[in-house]
A and B are shown apart, each in its own frame.
Chain A
């Protein structure tokens, strides 16, 4: 068994232990087994003293489309939303985004270079139901080792994207009415299917599986959430209305108008991702975006995580989003949560990652200054108790030559 301890001048645990000055974290294999302000270590336990640096949990990007972009210049598989089937052109719940996953992809290294150690990787938003996502570490040798959780939720999109992408082909939806109707239709069909399936199983009868509807069953059983793309407040409210009708759990994705309905989101305990907020207002539904939304959600008590929508923004810019939200007044403590533990909670992997606490994976990064400073650099990123990235030796792809 590998057993060692780490210390640093400032440790942000993003947990009960708060901020520790020269505290000690004990790591056994890939897990954290103790976190304390002080600790007497057995003589056989090595102490790695990172010195005058800040140490914080590896950040968690809870809404990304990583890896789907091919390294080939003009290839862009981002809107990889499946081709539709019995549910019509606007739904492809049978698309499992996992099959995009290339564990050698540069995005993983970009993430580590930015202090990000885990991500929820989801299909796009060019349909009402685009498929299911998965959560992965950004460091590991095999694909199996990288994956934290398969099927982190069914990706659903409201708002203008599916209207544009599907509606322009002449199929429903061309309106927000149509979008909601398509979603209801799919969920009704899945409900009927679930009933028929249970009945057939109870009666011991043959039953033909419908692979388009199967992925919606865990959603109806409240085992996974529907992750609903909703920038505008009206789209968020529609999402809540439909969630109530079908008694499903949802997360709200993007929520750039979340300040308008923060109380409503808080009241229902819906978890959210917020962003991407940098960049221009490229479409109508993002018209209200700004870092003040983070303050409103925090004030209302919403559990939200900041997102880059990577690679809509490069994943390492998530920390910059934190810096800019902090500038607008989001407290240091809330900002760090929004970059780490909240992302883990939104993704549903908080038992593994997101804070420095006993029982969690030893995923962390060290910084040569305050983690939220525009001037500080990531020095090292550790995943599962191993050094996964080191600024001193890292080369960007282009630095390796042609």
Chain B
């Protein structure tokens, strides 16, 4: 049992509570309020002057999958030999003690959706995991698979090995059609009282996509990539999540109308290749149009420890403070379908939280303590 008292709580769902307390029991938040009696035998943490937020959630990144510093021997995000890799699983390539997870904790990130890389049209299945807790990756999992990562960017790395943008779309559509054909075959068999055929591990994820069980997380950069993705989703009826959305500023109306979840970013980037049209103002433009979305570093494009920096700069460049904070907590939780567990400070949620020395967007503020399921996984060395 742990009682955090006198803290400023950024709850994300109930506004900001000043001088409030938060009780943690068995890894869950069990009480929040101004007057909570200290239960017997409970550890008390006086957080006078400190801020508590939910643990931050990185909607799309590759910590542990793209190992830091070692280059090719630890680069496990791109199975470059396989352009149609629906059966590949990020979970199989994540190194749980990669240094990037330490970075994540230093930046207050407790959950990440680890997505395969950008070298294939269908790159593989993502896994939502905690950023600490075990040397066994399976024990860090919150949801796996969460989505199927697809690259629809008609340039740069994703385009390698394809004739052009249309070629990429054709390959994707071909897989969707195969899944659709399989479903028809299965229905026919069942109708005729025969045994249902097996989709097999290669096609099964695509069948899940057509049946709406597995969303496609589509990486899109340019205007026509975004529009292609939206039109394909409408035509084929799959659940779509747009990732990166760099040129979203060109088609705000499309995005508002389509109501698809967005993982926006990285924005703190280079000005090369695919990132040349990236703008720090994109989150502000989308937010002002009423869109609610996740901000992302797409680690390692921006370091995962700079998720909060990303939100601070998005705030400076036009996104409200409240929306910028929700974009790294509540909204990614909703997109990942985990808002019943994480993303806000509410009774019944997992006690994944961050104790900050001040407001998360202030220059000198540091992460002091990070809890995952109520257990301290990071303490800042002073």
Contacts and interface: CB of A to CB of B under 8 A. Distances in A.
Interface in A350-380: 370, 372-377
Interface stretch (A3-11, A129-137, A197-205, A310-318): A310-318
Nearest to B99: A281
A376 B70 CA distance: 37
Contacts of B362: 373-375
B269 A314 contact: yes
A243 B183 CA distance: 70
Contacts of B315: 375
B313 interface: yes
Interface stretch (B40-48, B50-58, B300-308): B300-308
Nearest to B249: A398
B272 interface: yes
Nearest to A78: B272
Interface in B150-203: 155-156
B306 A398 contact: no
Contacts of A320: 268, 309, 313
B254 interface: no
Contacts of B303: 278-280
Contacts of B257: none
B81 interface: no
Contacts of B306: 278
Contacts of A399: 249
A279 B272 contact: no
A313 B271 CA distance: 7
Contacts of B250: 398, 402
Nearest to A70: B276
Interface residues of A, number: 43
Interface string B252-279: 0000000000000000111111101111
Interface stretch (A53-61, A94-102, A321-329): A321-329
Contacts of A373: 362-363
Nearest to B266: A279
Given A278-B302, A375-B361, A377-B316, A287 B69 contact: yes
Interface string B86-127: 000000000000011000000000000000000000000000
Interface in B277-302: 277-281, 299-302
A13 B249 CA distance: 38
Given A281-B99, A310-B271, A396-B281, A327 B364 contact: yes
B71 interface: yes
A239 interface: no
B366 interface: yes
Give me the 5 closest cross-chain CB pairs, A-B, nearest first. A280-B300, A311-B271, A287-B69, A281-B68, A281-B69
Interface of A: 69, 71, 73-74, 76, 78, 106-107, 110, 278-284, 286-287, 310-317, 320, 323-324, 326-327, 370, 372-377, 396-399, 402
Given A320-B309, A376-B316, 13 more contacts: A69-B276, A73-B274, A73-B277, A74-B273, A76-B273, A279-B302, A284-B70, A287-B68, A312-B270, A324-B309, A327-B364, A398-B247, A398-B249
11 contacts: A73-B222, A278-B268, A280-B300, A281-B69, A282-B300, A314-B271, A314-B278, A327-B364, A372-B363, A375-B316, A399-B249
